[in-house]
Every structure is written in structure tokens, then in C-alpha cells.
Amino acid sequence: MIDPNTIPDHPRRAKTYDYFRILSNQRIRYYGNYKAAKISGKTAGARLVVEVDFAGIVRRTWYESYDSQNRVIRIHPKTPKDLGHVELNPLTDKETERW
């Protein structure tokens, strides 16, 4: 497990984003502020996720959408390539649909 304080820009990111998680593959995921959906439905809210490597370089970004139980129900990979929306079964984390 890496020490986040050795990663360039970590203090700024830790302050800018809502929270972070250290991964076992020498990367950190920074989770942006949660925004509750203004329209009621299956999607309760969403946030931006930014994945950074040990050198502090942004490797991937995506949007995560959550249901009312705060389970991830959809991801939308944005970089390095926009892959559209990927629906997930929150119980299995398996992909159910792409659109």
C-alpha cells in the first residue's frame, strides 16, 4: 500500500475532493462531491471519480451514479475515452446494459 503523502498533489486533491481511497495497485481514487439528483427516479445522485497513479498523473475519470441505498448503479467512463453509460446490477456489480 502506498503512502499518499508521497504522491504529488495529494494534499491539494485531498482538500478539493470529498474523500479518497488508496488502491492496492499503487493508485488513488479521489471522489468528488456527491450531488443529489434534482429529479426523482432510480438514480439518487452522482459524483465524479478521478483515479491517479503513484506519480500523481490522472489515469482515468468517470461518473458514478448511485441508487437510494448509495449503491453504484451506473458508471460513465469519461477519460481516456468516453465509453458511454454502463448500467450495473448493484447486487453483483455486473454490467447489465450499455447505452
Binding residues for another protein, per CB under 8 A?
12, 15-16, 32-33, 35, 37-39, 41-43, 45-48, 50, 58, 61, 63, 65, 74, 76, 78-79, 85, 99
Cα 15 versus chain centre, distance: 16
User: 10 — phi, psi (to 5°)?
Assistant: -60, -45
Smallest gap from residue 84 Cβ to another protein (A): 10
Smallest gap from residue 75 Cβ to another protein (A): 10
Smallest gap from residue 27 Cβ to another protein (A): 15
Nearer to another protein, 21 or 82 (CB): 82
CB 51 within 8 A of CB 58: yes
Give how far Cα 11 sits from Cα of 8, 14, 17, Å: 8, 5, 10
